[in-house]
Structure 1
Amino acid sequence: MKRLITALLVIGLPVALMSTQIHASNMAEEKPTQHLKVAEVTSMEQAKKVFLMKTAEMMSKQQIDQKAAADIHIITYTLEQSVAYFTENLTGEKQALATQMAEVVERIHLTSETSRTDQLKTHLGEYYQLVDQFLFSF
């Protein structure tokens, strides 16, 4: 019996440690799960409309709790499409701001997906600052 327990510990412990290391590694390379398919944004007019509407929806969330995080997660699918359109079709400073916004929207998407509300609040603050600069440049 002692041999069985020792064997399980010898085999089980390294496997458990490997699993923990793999999980930690996966978190570092976290990628969003594509839950929704949304229509592609195909014009600048549509991109602006979606961008303003979805940004306003996120800003309307007064308290960032798990419900708000879930709502924001859904919003980011469409928002990502409009911001991607900007990054592909604008130039200069506007394109640079759109690229920064795309990176922050991705972080918002990931943190809202896992209800990490403290991090989500931080990323939302970053996004709103970029939005102010972006709108000023139009």
Structure 2
Amino acid sequence: MDDKDRFILESLRENARISTATLGRELRVSRATIQNRIDKLVAQGVISRFTIELGDTSDETAIEALVLLKTSSVDTRPLIIKLRKIKNLVSFTSLNGDYDFALELRSKSTVELDEILAEIRSLQHVLETNCSIRLKTFL
């Protein structure tokens, strides 16, 4: 990965809708070159998915929760595969410290959230979860 790739990544972080033509003009390369670089970053796993971040007014009825998860397994790869398939998973991060993973969930109701949490807690090697419902986002 070179400086142009880093510029592309940073630009996409700031504005995921930025066009390849605009990026090409800024880097003084063709739109096709930008697209090829993005495709290469995807193939290398540098970009793992394309998504959107919803604004505060997008769905006021949605429940967002952060779930901290502690495991009993040294090899967490099988658990990671299962966790990635969890319904309504927004983000999934490994951590150091008291908990091994942080999951961000979005559900339509507390009942649906409870069902998702029950599914997570039933997975083999899940020792403990700590769920907090997001009240307000400041940034």
TM-score, normalised with respect to structure 1: 0.24
**Structure 1 or 2: larger strand share?**
2
**Structure 1 or 2: larger helix share?**
1
TM-score, normalised with respect to structure 2: 0.24
